[in-house]
Structure 1
Amino acid sequence: MSYMELFDKDVMEEEFSSTELLHVLSDKTSFPIDTERKVFRKKEQIAIENEVHDYIYFIQSGICGVWKNEHINNFIGENDIIGFNEILGNEPSFTSVIALTDIITWRFSKEQVMSKLMYSQEGAFYLYQYMKLVNANLLQKQTLQTEETKKQLLLTLTYLGQQYGEENQHHIILPKIFTKKIISNYLGMTRQHMTYLCKDFESNGIFETDTNQFILNKDNITISY
């Protein structure tokens, strides 16, 4: 890679993505390190807040909740990494990570990962790109919190549905794990207010009436904005 390419945003995102990092770490031809396929069942803890963990995990399938002080502050899934935030000093985990569905991961030793990244000329750029992505996600959530609660809820459900659910010509369908309890916790919203907003969306045709799952009517989402 040329020096000038390192200043190209698109090149950085492509060349130093989590997918590319997994490929580099799995490569046995240069500085081979141990790789293990690890499966976690629904509700199983993968990381525990304030505890030191010796491994990082690359999620291949499934969805996790990221918790801090019993408050869920993020959702992560395919191609996301667990434990990479604390890799430099192997510090205690800032958050807990709990499987919301069954999870399939690739597990690596933090110590071996750091050794391989330091062995590579471009290893530091993977750390830089990952932290840049984390900061962007934090900024996105902070921006969302400036919106009024009705718009917060609709934007959040639309994003989660597009990221983790199914989408067809008329609907965005969220996985059933995204319950009213989990979403209200994530948004810092009372269950009563959440229920009120959901009923309002149903009456205006934005939500399909389904007590077990969020189904958004795409034709009416833009109207509510």
Structure 2
Amino acid sequence: MKKLYYLLLLGLPCFAGAQSTVQVKNDRNHSFNIILENATHYFEESGSNISIANLPGGRYKLRIWDPFFPQASTRETNVDLKPGQKVTISVRQEMQLEKTEELLKTGSGRPVVSRDPLAYPEGVTYPRLPRMKDADANALARAIGGKAFDDDKEAIFRAGTQYNSFTTAQVRQWITSFKFGNNKLKMAKLVFPQVTDKQNYHQLKDCFIFLDEQSEFIKFLNQQ
């Protein structure tokens, strides 16, 4: 995931003073997972304090998972970035999100900071992702398997897994259709937060042919 992140950063235009930053902070002592994307850029990261810098202004969709809860869960919100702005999203108790906006400091004055709770009612717990039915998982597997190229498989995979939780066995159905091990690995990492039986996820190791892919998969699990 980090490779994709750095490559995308290298490809961004570097206009001095015009780039922005999104930071996601967790006040609990464990890591979580995020996806930040818009029409042209896509980032995946994990950690308790994540910063993605050198972003062009615009609207980004932010998805946050906390994989340490008994069931996979997610929050989604839009982040509107202005050029030269830093937006910090703080993840509070019950997955309440608080946004802090800060303009870059200039020679004429101090940063302008404002804090706003995002659109989640106080005291309301965040939604759990519904468990995917086996029939739906089988249909998704057929749709993925029906495509010839991994890029097309990935598009269907992402669309079909956004709003559900699922089992290790269901994930196995989907990733085995991919031709290349690095793509299998990317998809296995992507949906890990949404898996309900994380204790069984190591069983996917045999989906990878090469030892370096197996090692990277196990290393990923050990870091969760």
TM-score after normalising by structure 1:
0.28
Specify which structure has the higher proportion of helix: 1
More strand by share: 2
Q: Which has the higher contact order (CA 8 A, sep 6+)?
A: 1
Normalised by the length of structure 2, the TM-score is: 0.29
